[in-house]
Amino acid sequence: MDAAHFAADLLEKIGVAVGGSGPADIHIHDDRFYKRVIRDRELGLGEAYQEGWWTANRLDEFLAVAQETNLADHVKPSPALLKLALQSRFGNRQDEKKAKKNAQAHYDIGNDLFERMLDKRMIYTCAYWRDADNLDAAQEAKLDLICRKLGLKPGMRLLDIGCGWGGFAQFAASRYDVQVTGISPAIEQVTLARENTIGLPVTILQEDYREMEGEFDRITSIGMMEHVGPRNLGTFFETCDRLLVDDGMMLHHTIGSNEWKTHTDPWFDKYIFPGGVLPSLGQISRAAEKVWSIEDVHNFGPDYDRTLMAWHANISDRWDEIPHYEDHFKRTWEYYLLGSAAGFRVRALQLFQVVFTKAKQRHPVYDAIR
């Protein structure tokens, strides 16, 4: 059976028609699509979309069906994909030098893009939609939720690891009167974060978490643990232990995997988040055991589907304002946003907020906040 017939038969088995009118149905514009996908699985599927070789009536719905039916498992991985998995498993792609390069590859692609895609505070993580009806309100609800979970009090020293463009630091300092130190290895983030926090008790540093010194009452990371890497989770928690006072508390907000992994989807690794690996709860708890007590785990993964769709709607409406992003990049970005939304829609991805205190310390009973 040739590649075209094999692929068409496989798509038919999962309920996807080529040239159909259903939301998940796809349209092939270049017959090279078939061999590319059979050879390179999920990497080939994404690259073929970037090249314009296929489209879908609703890309998010096709990718949701592909994930919930485990479409990639029906195709053997190529030697190149196996090599990538082995490199991720046995190498450290998130050491200090590589971590900085990885972060800059994504977060320094242009503030003009993120300013048009995100909410007014430029929060690039899952919003909290329980009582909100728009992106700005949902992001503020998430920031306030974190502050309340941490029990922030005036004068506390807060470390924000992976501070982005300073939105959380700005919020916590102005609303809760705390002193915030934010760190990021991405220079464009650091530059704008400093501008966004002028006049507030906020210090923004271009640093890797492993370089950080000082003592803090509270620590948070919001969408940063995905970049730590499985080989460095132990070091990450050891660093937090060194920086946090004994009666302190920390919260980590992270996309999570349903299974223990040492590597990520090859397309996302190559084009979106180099070196990124989503931790499972098992990996987090293993890295934290003995030193940390897990006080609370809150999963609101479905909220990320809605957040990503809001981002996609925002940037789709405003591409004409930033014409230097060419069509190939736009298709790449569309595939990233809608593919991620699909993953949360079918619960292949989760969003965890995990609250920690130091083990073997006397702490009051933690009151879980929602």
pLDDT on residue 77 = 67
Instruction: Give the pLDDT band (50/70/90) at residue 5.
Output: confident
User: Out of 3-7, 48-52, 83-87, 334-338, which region has the weakest mean confidence (pLDDT)?
Assistant: 83-87
pLDDT on residue 105 = 76
pTM, to two decimals: 0.93
Per DSSP, the three-state class of 1 is coil
CA–CA separation, 40 and 76 (whole Å):
9
Give tens-digit pLDDT for 88-107: 555 665 666 676 677 777 88
Instruction: Give the pLDDT band (50/70/90) at residue 192.
Output: very high
- Single-letter amino acid, residue 214: G
Higher pLDDT, 12 or 249: 249
Task: Determine the distance from the C-alpha atom of residue 237 to the mean position of all C-alpha atoms in its chain, rounded to a whole number.
Answer: 19
pLDDT on residue 8 = 82
Higher pLDDT, 5 or 112: 112
Instruction: Give the pLDDT band (50/70/90) at residue 4.
Output: confident
pLDDT on residue 3 = 79
CA–CA separation, 287 and 48 (whole Å):
38
Give tens-digit pLDDT for 71-80: 877 777 666 5
pLDDT on residue 263 = 83
Query: Are residues 370 and 141 in contact, defined by beta-carbon separation less than 8 angstroms?
Result: no
* pLDDT at position 264 over 60: yes
* pLDDT at position 205 over 80: yes
Tell which residue, 287, 241, 293, has the closest CA to residue 260: 287
What is the Rg, in whole angstroms, of the alpha carbon atoms belonging to the chain?
A: 21
Tell which residue, 38, 126, 101, has the closest CA to residue 340: 126
| Percent of the chain clearing pLDDT 70 (strictly above) | 93
The mean per-residue pLDDT over the stretch 130-158 comes to 98
CB-count exposure of residue 41 (10 Å: 0-12, 13-18, 19+) = buried
pLDDT on residue 133 = 96
User: Out of 62-66, 77-81, 272-276, which region has the weakest mean confidence (pLDDT)?
Assistant: 77-81
CA–CA separation, 241 and 356 (whole Å):
11
Task: Determine the distance from the C-alpha atom of residue 174 to the mean position of all C-alpha atoms in its chain, rounded to a whole number.
Answer: 26
- What is the number of alpha carbons within 13 Å of residue 91 lying toward its C-beta? 10
Q: How far is CA 70 from CA 40, 57, 74, 224, 277, in A?
A: 15, 20, 8, 27, 19
CA–CA separation, 35 and 362 (whole Å):
61
Q: How far is CA 262 from CA 82, 233, 237, 284, 354, in A?
A: 13, 12, 18, 13, 21
Q: Mean pLDDT score of the chain, rounded to an integer?
A: 93
CA–CA separation, 264 and 233 (whole Å):
16
pLDDT on residue 93 = 59
DSSP assignment of 210-261 equals GG--S-EEEEEEES-GGGT-GGGHHHHHHHHHHHEEEEEEEEEEEEEESS--
CB-count exposure of residue 140 (10 Å: 0-12, 13-18, 19+) = buried
Task: Determine the distance from the C-alpha atom of residue 260 to the mean position of all C-alpha atoms in its chain, rounded to a whole number.
Answer: 17
pLDDT on residue 71 = 82
Token pair in block for residue 82: 């196996």
| Percent of the chain clearing pLDDT 90 (strictly above) | 82
CB-count exposure of residue 98 (10 Å: 0-12, 13-18, 19+) = middle
Query: Are residues 357 and 249 in contact, defined by beta-carbon separation less than 8 angstroms?
Result: yes
